[in-house]
Amino acid sequence: MADAMQVFDRALVRCRRDRAAAGIGRVAPVLEAGAALLLDRLDDISRRFHRALDIGGRGAVAPALRARGVETVVSMDLSAPMARGAGGLPLAADEEWLPFATGSFDLVVASLSLHWVNDLPGALLQIRRAMAPDGLFLATLPALGTLQPLREALGRAETALRDGLSPRVSPFPELRDGAALLQRAGFAMPVADRDRLDLRYRSPMALIADLRAAGESNAVQARDPRVPPRAMFPLALGALPLEEGVLAMPLELLTLTGWAPAPDQPKPARRGSADARLADALGTVERKAGERAGG
């Protein structure tokens, strides 16, 4: 990939996930809650899936898929120790260079795991190619707004103590980016929507501890390599707003749903082919642009 595509330090991401693997149980409730929100979509689908790929589930996805009757679950992670503890057939591999043959899976689930990928459109294209026709893709990514109070507090503290600031929190996508990403990768019937996990912490340090335990510390290439000023983190964390002694830090979720194309899938009607008027269906009067009621 071109240098311009290198937003994240993937070697550092792997290293931090390696270190986090042994203590991932500390954040299991958060990971399991996120996976449950995503996998609830399977309960609305009548078909059964047989071969699933769990990308970066960290022990929250594979057991839930098996409980739903999926016979074969491959748990892939950038970190080998994390893959070994994920609950499926373990595979250490890079999301940016998938090692699977075309049509390998009829279900792919990526719960809170694709936000450290440099070339997300390319990764989604590879995922779609690894799916059998009419296979289902489900993913959640932290969305814009996640950790925003922490981002702002760190920015203010660093600006006050140093000449300028560096990125301390990863960039996150917006909702409007989701469906376009799926369409670009060739998925059929793409849907992007938003969800939220309302997380609350007893203290700002508990939030920082959870981020480290999940392997989610800063890995942005443009981060400042210098040791931060000693006062920066106390100043930033002390400025975070507490409500009745509790820090609210919602996890905003961008949820992606798409299907691998298949010949017998429903297709949108041709533009202009409708034989009924929307105004009739809504029981209202159709007006031209700029025309006023009663005019």
Encode pLDDT of 212-242 as tens digits.
Answer: 999 999 889 888 888 888 999 999 999 998 9
Contact of 56 with 114, CB cutoff 8 Å: yes
Whether residue 243 is contained in a domain is answered as no
Q: What is the pLDDT of residue 291?
A: 63
Q: What is the pLDDT of residue 80?
A: 98
Label residue 88 left, alpha or beta by phi (over 0 means left) and psi (-120 to 50 means alpha). beta
CATH of residue 58: 3.40.50.150
Q: Which residues make beta-bridge pairs with 215?
A: none
State which residues form the domain around 118. 3-151+169-229+250-282
Whether residue 34 is contained in a domain is answered as yes
pTM reported for the whole predicted model = 0.86
User: What's the structural domain count of the chain?
Assistant: 1
Whether residue 240 is contained in a domain is answered as no
Local structure of 44: helix, strand or coil: helix
Whether residue 123 is contained in a domain is answered as yes
Q: Which amino acid makes up residue 238?
A: G
Q: What is the pLDDT of residue 286?
A: 65
Instruction: Give 77-90 pLDDT, tens digit per residue.
Output: 999 999 999 999 99
Question: Which residues of the chain carry a pLDDT beneath 50?
Answer: 1-4
Q: Which residues make beta-bridge pairs with 188?
A: 259
Contact of 57 with 87, CB cutoff 8 Å: yes
Query: What is the rounded distance in angstroms from the CA atom of residue 262 to the CA atom of residue 42?
Result: 19
Name the DSSP letter for residue 117.
Answer: -
Whether residue 225 is contained in a domain is answered as yes
Torsion of CA 8, 37, 127, 91, to 10 degrees: 80
Q: What is the pLDDT of residue 1?
A: 43
Whether residue 295 is contained in a domain is answered as no
